[in-house]
């Protein structure tokens, strides 16, 4: 059963905090977030996505986190970072414009009706914005800019000046979107910390919220990426493609460290479903049912669940999530 939305008006501060903290690795800082929840009536959050290629499972981690924040009564803004994508050499203006339209359709297909979608090009060419980026540039070293882009940019060893401009724009985005919280995967941490350290320079502060990264389906050593064959799954993949990719994924028996299948179960499937069932024949112990991820992890760590049964389960539940999105995406 798909989990139902929580009624925001009935949530206490502690309940809102619990929703926000679920499946996050870090909040900078938790004290600042708690003060926001106690003292500010209207709180907003943003997460930015480069519109290049279809949404994939890695994106789902932050999308589902945004849905948690929405349930916690926080206004959600999704930045489709078309200018960032251009600076980061992700395609021509025409290519990126096509992807922007695809992403708008995908966000609608995901069922995220409450989010405000903003394009970077809607505000990033304004004088006040560019002056803030220049102010950040005056107060940032080239070395720190390079470090912040290590997990974001292509070919960072040969980074262009435009790619160094990129993290400064991300910091300016937070101020000019007027949000209280910046959400991103852990690869965004170094960028967010530039913003936190430059809060006095920018005369603007915020809370940074970081989610885990799903390990490549090919195994530890890199994050999930659809650009690497066999590494990830996108919302345009067919059922057969999902099954093939999952069946070939890294998933050592009993190993709960850097196991991408378990990460998918924890970060994507359990947040969407109240109960997860794994179907097995009686000779292999019969069906299993789990109400939360911890129960599944325990059984798997004890080698009471075979990797192929876990993979079959993940395939079926991913198809339940992706099929309606794929159908609407194609319209």
**Dist. CA 90–CA 76, nearest whole Å:** 25
Residues of the chain with CATH 1.10.240.10: 239-329
Rg (CA), the chain: 20
User: Tens-digit pLDDT profile for the chain (331 aa)?
Assistant: 555 544 455 889 999 999 999 999 999 999 999 999 999 999 999 999 999 888 888 899 999 999 999 999 999 999 999 998 988 888 889 999 999 998 998 888 887 878 999 999 999 999 999 999 999 999 988 877 777 666 555 555 667 777 778 889 999 999 999 999 999 999 899 899 999 999 999 999 999 999 999 999 998 878 777 667 667 899 889 999 999 999 999 999 999 999 999 999 999 999 999 899 999 888 888 999 999 999 999 999 999 999 999 999 999 999 999 998 888 776 5
**Dist. CA 146–CA 136, nearest whole Å:** 14
pLDDT digits (tens, 9 = 90+) for 120-175: 999 999 999 999 999 999 998 887 777 766 655 555 566 777 777 888 999 999 99
**Dist. CA 199–CA 219, nearest whole Å:** 38
**Dist. CA 97–CA 99, nearest whole Å:** 5
**Domain 239-329: CATH superfamily, name plus number:** Tyrosyl-Transfer RNA Synthetase (1.10.240.10)
Per DSSP bridges, beta strands 288-290 and 276-278 are antiparallel
CATH of 8-211, one of 3.40.50.620, 3.30.420.40, 3.30.230.10, 1.10.10.60: 3.40.50.620
**Dist. CA 273–CA 197, nearest whole Å:** 39
What is the pTM (predicted TM-score) of this model? 0.89
């Amino acid at each position: 059963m798909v989990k139902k939305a929580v009624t925001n008006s009935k949530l206490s501060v502690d309940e809102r905090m619990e929703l926000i903290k679920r499946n996050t690795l870090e909040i900078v800082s938790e004290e600042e977030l708690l003060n926001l929840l106690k003292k500010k009536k209207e709180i907003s959050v943003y997460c930015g996505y480069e519109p290049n290629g279809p949404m994939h499972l890695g994106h789902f981690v932050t999308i589902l986190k945004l849905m948690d924040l929405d349930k916690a009564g926080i206004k959600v803004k999704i930045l489709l970072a078309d200018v960032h994508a251009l600076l980061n050499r992700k395609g021509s203006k025409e290519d990126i414009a096509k992807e922007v339209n695809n992403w708008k359709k995908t966000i609608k297909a995901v069922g995220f009706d409450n989010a405000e979608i903003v394009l970077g090009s809607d505000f990033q060419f304004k004088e006040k914005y560019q002056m803030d980026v220049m102010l950040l540039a005056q107060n940032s070293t080239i070395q720190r800019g390079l470090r912040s882009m290590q997990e974001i940019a292509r070919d960072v060893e040969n980074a262009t000046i435009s790619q160094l401009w990129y993290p400064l724009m991300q910091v300016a985005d937070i101020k000019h979107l007027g949000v209280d919280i910046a959400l991103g995967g852990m690869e965004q941490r170094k960028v967010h910390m530039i913003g936190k350290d430059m809060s006095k320079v920018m005369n603007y502060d915020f809370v940074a919220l970081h989610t885990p990264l799903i390990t490549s389906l090919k195994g530890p050593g890199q994050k999930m990426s659809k650009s690497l064959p066999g590494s990830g799954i996108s919302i345009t993949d067919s059922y057969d493609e999902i099954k093939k990719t999952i069946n070939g994924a890294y998933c050592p028996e009993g190993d709960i460290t850097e196991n991408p299948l378990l990460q998918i179960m924890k970060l994507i499937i359990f947040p969407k479903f109240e109960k997860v069932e794994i179907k097995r024949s009686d000779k292999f112990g019969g069906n299993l049912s789990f109400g939360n991820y911890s129960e599944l992890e325990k059984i798997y760590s004890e080698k009471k669940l075979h990797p192929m049964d876990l993979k079959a389960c993940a395939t079926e539940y991913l198809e339940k999530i992706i099929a309606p999105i794929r159908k609407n995406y194609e319209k």
